[in-house]
Amino acid sequence: MAKKRVAVLISGRGSNMMALIEAARGEDYPAEIALVVSNRPDAAGLAWAREAGVATAIVDHRPFGENRAAFERALDAELRAQRIELICLAGFMRLLTPWFVGRWSGRMLNIHPALLPQFRGLDTHRRALEAGVKRHGATVHFVVPEMDAGPIVAQDWVAVRADDTESTLAERVLEVEHRIYPQALRALAEGRASLRSADNDAGSRGSSA
């Protein structure tokens, strides 16, 4: 079967992007990372992607100002020009409009550094520590118009330690992210995860790592 052509959308560091690129090098992996797109020309991940031999594009949001629709049309045109079939948002720091989300409905995943539906939005590690939760983790989900909502494809957790700081916790959660994102993309590319299916479960739930 032909590998699905995937675009990874980033705004910064790109460590999840790299995890996806590395996983997709596997011969039996059902997807190839055909394109990395950043909305920020200075995103560190762009250099990593180029080094890894992956095509990159920059669709800078700034010239479009408040005009999100025009930015998204430019982004969409780039994705279509490269015959992209699936999108992985990986630290992509732009809110997407219902138009773009609808266009890629069921074909776009996001990774969020928390156990959704807990801690939607930013600063998840700080908020988890403040809330005193015993478990924290990461979630890969389908993108729907509502932010950090949408059916869960993979989720896994780590135990929160008494001496954890935001950064130590973030570091352990990042390991979870790098493990479950490739699993979730595999499930989507193989047709084992869908926006309408109630029993998506690409990632093992529960770990004491």
**In 3D, which of 122, 187, 181, 116 has the Cα closest to residue 151?**
116
Note whether 38 binds ligand GRF by CB under 6 A: no
| For ligand GRF, the closer CB: 42 or 70 | 42
Q: Do 157 and 180 form a contact (C-beta atoms < 8 A)?
A: no
Task: Say whether 112 is catalytic.
Answer: yes
Could you tell me the sign of the dihedral formed by the alpha carbons of 186, 190, 194, 200, in that order? negative
118 binds ligand GRF (CB under 6 A): no
Q: Closer to ligand GRF at the Cβ: 73 or 135?
A: 135
Evaluate the omega torsion of the peptide bond into residue 117 and state whether it is cis, within 30 degrees of 0. Answer: yes
**Residues 112, 136, 141, 178: which is the catalytic one?**
112
Q: Which of 90, 101, 109, 154 binds ligand GRF (CB under 6 A)?
A: 90
- Smallest distance from the beta carbon of 2 to ligand GRF, in angstroms? 27
CB of 125 to ligand GRF, least distance (A): 9
Q: Is the separation of the CB atoms in 125 and 116 below 8 Å?
A: no
| 3-class secondary-structure state, position 10 | strand
The one-letter code for the residue type at 19 is: A
Smaller CB distance to ligand GRF: residue 50 or 83?
50
Cα angle: 116, vertex 194, 122; to 5 degrees: 25
> Of the candidates 13, 107, 126, 192, which one interacts with ligand GRF according to CB under 6 A?
13
Which residue from 4, 6, 9, 16 is in contact with ligand GRF, where contact means CB under 6 A? 16
List residues with catalytic annotation. Answer: 112
Which residues sit at the interface with ligand GRF, rule CB under 6 A?
10, 12-17, 45, 90-91, 111-113, 177
